[in-house]
Amino acid sequence: MIVIGELINGMYKDVGKAIANKESDVIQHLAADQVMAGASVLDVNTGPYSQNPKDDMKWLIETIQGVVQVPLALDSTKADVIEEGLKLVAKRAIINSTNADEAKMAVIFGLAKKYNTQVIGLAMDKSGVPNSKEKRLELAAAIVAKAMEFGINAEDLFLDPIVLPLNVAQAQGSEVLESIREFRLLCDPAPNTTIGLSNVSQGTKFRPLVNRTFLTMAVANGLTSAILDPLDKELMDAMITAELVLNKAIYCDSFLEAYRKR
């Protein structure tokens, strides 16, 4: 599994404050801790309250790259914010994200070619997040087709069925899980899949349990990547064990330690 650490996101109150006040130590600790805990990529999102997302994105990237050397997933709905970031990244980045809208894909896949990046494609369009797996598959297929047109390899594409909170969109859980399985069949070699895991538990009472259960089920459906909180040790242990059950790693009694030492 490609673990994308979600914690550098201005949506978190403390992180939003750290961005506004340019508290680099807060960001650098979050970066180092997530990588230590097993994140191989860090999501970078200035959050909804950023007054100047371009400058904040640039500051976050430079601050993070002062302490860790992992690829970054630049998470913004604004292409100009992403492009400012792409000029600064030290490692091959992931653009988070495009949707299935024609004009949006043209801009984002253009940037992906120009800066040689990977791309997350959200199975949604102008009319929002679909509520069926059929519509999700249709939108994901449009993203795959457009990526191919731009000469982007399937393994550089991460298809995201879009996870919604269980407490307000309960019927969507199984649609998303089935979408993960179906997206893998869209091309050969298969595209990657990813989810914003914590969306599923927003507003629910037992967040870690909901996250852990959903992730395990998604892994069983062939999920290859997730944006999640790598500091949740029980979540990481469940993910590692799920991959073991699927025979993606060799069993030994110390398999958890073995995973961490990689």
Check binding of 227 to ligand THG (CB under 6 A): yes
Check binding of 117 to ligand THG (CB under 6 A): no
Tell me if residue 164 falls in helix, strand or coil.
coil
Q: The tokens of 189 are what? A: 């070699």
Check binding of 172 to ligand THG (CB under 6 A): no
Check binding of 163 to ligand THG (CB under 6 A): yes
Check binding of 204 to ligand THG (CB under 6 A): no
Check binding of 160 to ligand THG (CB under 6 A): yes
Least distance from C-beta 250 to ligand THG, angstroms? 31
Least distance from C-beta 153 to ligand THG, angstroms? 19
Check binding of 11 to ligand THG (CB under 6 A): yes
Check binding of 125 to ligand THG (CB under 6 A): no
Q: Which stretch binds ligand THG (CB under 6 A): 28-36, 142-150, 176-184, 198-206?
A: 198-206
Between the CA of residue 143 and those of 101, 191, 220, 232, what are the distances in Å? 9, 11, 24, 32
| Phi and psi torsions of 209, nearest 5° | -65, -45
Give the contacts of 100 (CB within 8 A, at least 6 positions apart): 121, 122, 123, 124, 125, 139, 140, 142, 143
Check binding of 199 to ligand THG (CB under 6 A): yes
Q: Which of 125, 189, 204, 199 is nearest to 157 (CA)?
A: 189
Q: The tokens of 213 are what? A: 């259960």
**Cα 217 from chain centre:** 17
Least distance from C-beta 36 to ligand THG, angstroms? 19
Count of residues interacting with ligand THG (CB under 6 A): 18
CA–CA dist 101, 205 (Å, integer): 35
Least distance from C-beta 191 to ligand THG, angstroms? 14
CA–CA dist 36, 19 (Å, integer): 22
Identify whether the C-beta of residue 11 lies closer than 8 Å to the C-beta of residue 47: yes
Check binding of 49 to ligand THG (CB under 6 A): no
Query: Which residue in the set 97, 179, 193, 225 belongs to the binding site for ligand THG (CB under 6 A)?
Result: 97
Check binding of 139 to ligand THG (CB under 6 A): no
Interaction site with ligand THG (CB under 6 A):
6, 9, 11-13, 45, 75, 96-97, 120, 160, 162-163, 196, 198-199, 202, 227
